[in-house]
Structure formats: C-alpha cells, structure tokens
Chain A
Amino acid sequence: MRVMERTFREQLFLLLCLSVPRGDCRYIEDNEVPQDDLFSVLNSDLKRDSPETSMYRRPLRCVDMVAMEGQFTFTAPPRPRLACAAFFIAEPNQVFSLEYDHVDIDCRGGDFIKVFDGWVLKGEKFPSLQDHALPLSERYLDYCSLGSRGVRSSQNVFMLFFRVRHAGDGFTVTVRQHLNPFPCNIISQTPGGSFTMVVPQQRKNCSFSIIYPAELQISDFSLGHYSDTTFPKRSVMGCSGDFVELLGGSGLDTSKMSPIAELCTSFSGPTQMKIGCDNTVVRLVSSGRFVNRLTFSYNQLDQSDLHRIQLNSGDDFCSTE
C-alpha cells in the first residue's frame, strides 16, 4: 500500500509538471485591458511591423531630390520622356546604399539606369577627379551592363540618371543610409551648421562643400599635435604637407575653384571669413602623417552682406572678405 501511494504521488507529480502551460504558448487576453493602456505596445500590428513594412515610400519624379532613405518607384508616364536625374543627399556623416527591387526597362531600346558616385552638375563632378578614389568611368554604374547589384556611395551624395521611354515601364529602388565614421567629401544639406572633419593618418584631400555664399568660422585645426599656437597664417604663397584651403567658385568641381586662403599651421581659436561665391568649400589636405582634425561653423551670408562684399570686390571673381 505504501509503495502504491508513493507511485501514485510520483505519477501525480509528473502529471502536474506536464500540465503547466509553457511560456511560449502564453498569450494576453485584453478583455479588460483598455486599448490605450501600456499593453497596447504588444499589439499584433506592432509585432508584425518590420523594417520593410514601415519603410518610407513614394514615387520618384523625373527630376528629384531625396534626403531620406526609403523605397522609390519611377514609372514612365504616357508621354515620351527623355533622360531624368535624381539627387540623393544625406547627413554629412552618412553614406547611401542602393538596391534594385524591381526593374522593367528596355535596355536594348535605349533605356538606362545609371548610378553616379557623387554629384555632377554642368559637367563638374563632386568629389573632383583628384579627390575621389575611383576614376570617372568607374563612378558611373550602369544597370544594363552590371545588373541589379547593390551599390554603396563613397560620400553623403550620389545621383541616379535614368531614361524609361515606354509608358508603364519603370523601376523601384531601396535606398538606405549608413553611418560613415570618417566622412571625407561632403555636400552640406543646409546653408548653416557646424562640422568637425577628421582624417586619421590618411593621404587624401577632403572637401566640405556649402552651396551658398557663406561666412566661415574655423575654430580648431589640429595636425595631431599642438605645434604652433600663434595666429593662423593666411598665405598666398601656398602651404605644403597638411593644411586647410578655403575655396570659392560657381561650380561643383573643387579643382576648378579659386583658392581664397590657406591655413598652414595648427591653431585653436576662431578665424573668420566671408565668401560671396555660389559654392564655398573648406578643403583639408592631408599627407597621411598626422591625425588631422578641423572644426568649423558656417552661416549663409545675408543679402546685405553679399551685396556689400560684391560691391567692394568689383571683379569677376566671386568676392570675399
């Protein structure tokens, strides 16, 4: 009898263990839980939200500017169309990646989709040929030749050129933004702001382009060690090695812009300059020997300042002060 009781207790215990609900089968009933209560965060809608379903989507225009990541679809309208172009620009410390989700174009009939690593305007490229790691031909990526392989930009801007002639044809691309820890060539999204550019012992030239007449304040320029605390030298004779160039011009290509000033030595403390050009560029030239750091802020010149500077300059070159 005692053995039987013991066996029965063991079986009962086993039965109880097997009957306990498992955690992954538990669900929440909301019979009395208000919709607006905290438990609403466990709503099935939210649970099923994935990056793909919450992605920003909109049609892509023939000439367009996009500043965010998302999915963009171009569909050729009924009337015949010529080539189109879309600019993409991100925050200075970001780069883009592009994936083709769907493409329906007639490559043999002359349709094309090309991705350009940078911006090109009136034949002038940013970054310039000298400042980009790739030759020009490799910066154009043609879908019809290379297929639907993913692309990643080298800086915070890139362009999409496309031509789709047949109505209803088109394509869909997904564009994402990724953090770039050491941004080099940048076009500013805004006419004002501040930025710190760091070049970690790399031999390269990095440009920060402000497509506005701007007032620059360079607050810190260091070559990895504090070598000179005197006032910065604005040299017209040219610097060598590691230095900062201030450029001004009316195009995107920094190699075609006129140098306004060069800062040859490290310093800490603001130096200010007003540049009345359509494009104002701060360029950091690095030899690779130092960890260079440059901090500056910029604001768009107001009309009165711009007018005064232009009056005082009196020559064809975009004026400075």
Chain B
Amino acid sequence: MKLNSLGTTVILLVAFSPRYECRALESPHGAPAAPPPNPGGPRPRQTLPLLPLPLLLQRLGEEYSIRVGGHGNSDSFGSMVMMEAVQPDPQPGFGRSNSRASPPLRPTRRHLSAGEVGGDTGDYFGTRSDEWTERARRSEDPPISLDLTFHLLREMMEMSRKEQMVIQAQSNRRMMELFGK
C-alpha cells in the first residue's frame, strides 16, 4: 500500500514537474544574430540605394510638367494649368460615385527656367506662385495629369526593369545561398 502511494506520488511529481521552455535554434558561434524587431515597424530586409538618375533628371525640366486639370494641351513645357474640378463621392475602391463639377478655374501658367532643374526631381518644380497655391487650396480634387514625353517614359520604364532585374537577382542569390550549397 505504501509502495503504491509512493509510486503514485513519484508519477505525479514527474508528470507535473516544470520543463524547460522549448528553444528555437540559436545562432552558433560566429554567425550574425537576428536583429531585434523594430518597434517602429518591420525591419527593412531588402533595401537598395536608389538607382542613379543622372542625365534623366537634368532633362526633366525640358520634358515634363504636372498638369492639374487634364484638359487641353500644354503649349509649352514647364507649365502648370488648373482647369475644372470634380468632386468624387466617398466610396471605397474604384467603385460607383457621384460627381459634381465645381466652377472652372482660370488657368494659371508658370514657365520654369533651366536654372530650376536640379539633381532631385522635386527641385524641378521650384517655387510656385501664390495664386496657384491659393487655387490649389480651394480646388476640389481636380483630375490631374502628367505631361511627359514618350522618350522620358521609355527611359523610366527601362530603369524600372533594371531595378526589377537587380532585385530578382538578389533574391535568387539569397535562395542559392540558403539551398544551393
């Protein structure tokens, strides 16, 4: 009887004894440890420096402008035109909506000089006129367009393809390092 009680007690002690936490594989000596999670968001794993845009950016001032309005033709490069405005209905996705046209705005033109073209694409636009700023603030979601030559568009497409190939090559190399050896 005592032996049975003793055996039962031993069994219960073994069954409910604390166990070590299951451990994942730890990094062996010399291998880089995993970086801690970034509290501000996912850590960047595949980041690349931006592909250079040397000659392309210098020519942007000659070849494109942003058109806010989307109607009519820009008679010269580097001009900004605002035309009529359309108010989209607040519906999710590209779905149904009701639109109403606001009164058309008088076009405001600004021609950009070559001196305003810089190394950064944002420098191309330079300083805007106060009148355009005021109208932009008062506009109700105008349809907008980009004036860009096909030549520049093709160069941008080619650069994006090269970027895609670089990323794909990096991904392939990483996979080979993991599984190929």
Chain A interface residues (CB < 8 Å from chain B): 4, 7-8, 11-12, 14-15, 18-19, 24-30, 35-36, 40-49, 52-59, 61-68, 70, 77, 79-85, 87, 89, 101, 109-110, 112, 114, 117, 120-123, 134-142, 144-147, 149-154, 159, 161, 163, 189-191, 211-212, 250, 278-279
Complex contact B121–A61 (CB within 8 A): yes
**Does B28 have its Cβ within 8 Å of any Cβ on chain A?**
yes
CB distance from A147 to the nearest CB of B (A): 8
CA distance A66 to B159 in the complex (A): 9
Complex contact B157–A65 (CB within 8 A): yes
**Does B55 have its Cβ within 8 Å of any Cβ on chain A?**
no
Which of B23, B73, B94 contacts A117 (CB under 8 A)? B94
Chain B interface residues (CB < 8 Å from chain A): 3-4, 7-8, 10-11, 14-15, 19, 22-28, 30-31, 34, 41-48, 50, 53, 60, 64, 66-68, 70-74, 80, 86-88, 90-97, 99, 120-125, 127-128, 133, 136-137, 141, 143-148, 150, 153-154, 156-157, 159-161, 163-164, 167, 178-179, 181
Which of B133, B144, B147, B160 contacts A66 (CB under 8 A)? B160
Of all chain B residues, the one with the shortest Cβ separation from A154 is B94
CB distance from B41 to the nearest CB of A (A): 8
**B133: chain A residues within 8 A (beta carbon):** 110
Complex contact A28–B3 (CB within 8 A): no
Which of A15, A25, A82 contacts B10 (CB under 8 A)? A15
Which of B50, B143, B154, B161 contacts A58 (CB under 8 A)? B50
**A40: chain B residues within 8 A (beta carbon):** 178
CB distance from A220 to the nearest CB of B (A): 27
Which of A19, A35, A57, A117 contacts B44 (CB under 8 A)? A57
CB distance from B155 to the nearest CB of A (A): 9
**B94: chain A residues within 8 A (beta carbon):** 117, 134, 138-139, 141, 151-154
Task: Knowing A54-B46, A82-B80 are in contact, say whether A138-B22 is a contact too (CB < 8 A).
Answer: no
Q: A123-B73, A153-B94 are in contact. List 5 more A-B contacts (CB 8 A).
A: A11-B10, A15-B14, A55-B46, A57-B46, A63-B60
Of all chain A residues, the one with the shortest Cβ separation from B153 is A211
**B141: chain A residues within 8 A (beta carbon):** 112, 114, 140, 142, 144-145
Complex contact A43–B147 (CB within 8 A): no
CA distance A147 to B85 in the complex (A): 19
CB distance from B179 to the nearest CB of A (A): 7
Complex contact B122–A189 (CB within 8 A): no
Complex contact B128–A55 (CB within 8 A): no
CA distance A65 to B158 in the complex (A): 9
Complex contact A68–B93 (CB within 8 A): no
30 inter-chain pairs at a CB distance below 8 angstroms, sorted by A residue, are: A14-B11, A18-B11, A18-B15, A26-B22, A28-B25, A35-B31, A45-B27, A58-B48, A62-B122, A67-B160, A68-B163, A68-B167, A70-B46, A80-B127, A80-B128, A81-B125, A84-B121, A84-B122, A121-B146, A121-B153, A122-B145, A122-B146, A123-B73, A138-B96, A140-B86, A142-B88, A144-B141, A146-B92, A161-B144, A212-B154
Complex contact A65–B50 (CB within 8 A): no
Complex contact B50–A137 (CB within 8 A): no
Complex contact A4–B3 (CB within 8 A): yes
Complex contact A137–B14 (CB within 8 A): no
Complex contact A114–B144 (CB within 8 A): yes
Complex contact A46–B178 (CB within 8 A): yes
CA distance A250 to B153 in the complex (A): 13
Complex contact B68–A83 (CB within 8 A): yes
CB distance from A10 to the nearest CB of B (A): 9
**B26: chain A residues within 8 A (beta carbon):** 30, 44
**B73: chain A residues within 8 A (beta carbon):** 122-123
CB distance from B180 to the nearest CB of A (A): 10
**A26: chain B residues within 8 A (beta carbon):** 22
CB distance from A235 to the nearest CB of B (A): 29
CA distance A46 to B91 in the complex (A): 40
